Structure 1
């Protein structure tokens, strides 16, 4: 029997192809028609697996958040926040066009709820009051989303003439773009460390 000319359509294939489109064209570039064309099928075939485009987006969001590591809370709330924050940023940095999708909120997304449950449980289990644990979680999320969606160093022009004469404190700003990845990573680490230090000595 001859092999099919293309992989059999399934939920994972549709989800992964949707993510590839988002990576290349952004969220606005994902349509059910484009997704179907990429898969070599009719758009109607997609609805058997995902009734709406929003369902596809939820699947993509769940895939990305499933990569976030919350196991650090087994070693205390400080290590939990470090591990969570770093892995959360890593998952989003690999797919920057999907950041607005993740930032849109938890809703009914399974992996989002599992992540929130693990983080909240790790913090309250360490002694933080539930309300404080919620605000700590929010603070880390804001730090992660900000770092993933608005890189700092790469936003500066690499033309020294932009800064000379008018901006005397920025005469080296043209060098930032060439080392943007390291600077942005160190900036995130500084923010995360300051957040954790600001919570010392801890609950109780």
Structure 2
């Protein structure tokens, strides 16, 4: 009888298995030994494809970040660009909350992270934001997205009404949150994003007003 076919070990299989393990057990549980066991091979086989665990993680990070879309900044409207980027960013990360901690370490030298950072910063500056503000907006949006993807607020509650009703009168409906977790988490993110961009709009308008005032003053002085 012919031997049953075993899928060849390759980089795609290794990355997929690593992400499956992380999604299931957590980032801290990943090791080359456990990854090899997940794939049904010896750990030495992995090193033919990846020299270190971090090399595996970096490629997983690149794959996730490749799904983040910054193209809306090309249309010239900074608020639409920022909103679209933040939503796309959250969509890419929320599928793998256990991996977000690795991405939170910063863009470093990862190509996909730097590509996104460059597009965001360039789009904001081109729209009239001062470079320093553009840097802070990019960072603040990243904080917002990562905070919204590292864990679910709604799933942190249990569905037993007695846990909350007797001791926490203002949380008498908390036992209902788990049943609507996806809806609440998504709408809470949208609320935070809207409030954030509303505040930025006021700041942006003030910057433009000051810039226009300085220009008028220079024009009047020249006359």
Which residue of structure 1 aligns with residue 173 of structure 2? Answer: 172
Residues of 1 paired with 2:139 and 2:92: CA distance? Answer: 18
How many residue pairs were aligned? Answer: 203
Alignment of 1:127-146 (within 5 A): 127-146=128-147
Which residue of structure 1 aligns with residue 216 of structure 2? Answer: none
Which residue of structure 1 aligns with residue 83 of structure 2? Answer: 82
Report how far residue 27 of structure 1 moved: 1.1
- In structure 2, runs of 5+ residues without a counterpart are 209-223
Residue by residue over 1:47-82, the C-alpha shift from the partner in whole angstroms, topping out at 9 and shown as x without a partner, is 222111111111111111111111111231111111
Deviates more, 1:146-155 or 1:181-190: 146-155
Which consecutive aligned stretches of 4+ in structure 1 deviate over 6 angstroms post-superposition? none
Residues of 2 paired with 1:38 and 1:91: CA distance? Answer: 24
Which residue of structure 1 aligns with residue 46 of structure 2? Answer: 46
Which residue of structure 2 aligns with residue 149 of structure 1? Answer: 150
TM-score normalized by the length of structure 1: 0.92
Distance 1:182 1:9, change over 3 A: same
Distance 1:124 1:166, change over 3 A: same
Q: Aligned pair 1:124/2:125, yes or no?
A: yes
Alignment of 1:7-156 (within 5 A): 7-75=7-75, 76-156=77-157
Report how far residue 162 of structure 1 moved: 2.0
- In structure 1, runs of 5+ residues without a counterpart are none
Report how far residue 23 of structure 1 moved: 1.4
Residues of 2 paired with 1:120 and 1:4: CA distance? Answer: 52
Residues of 2 paired with 1:117 and 1:71: CA distance? Answer: 12
Q: CA RMSD in A?
A: 1.8
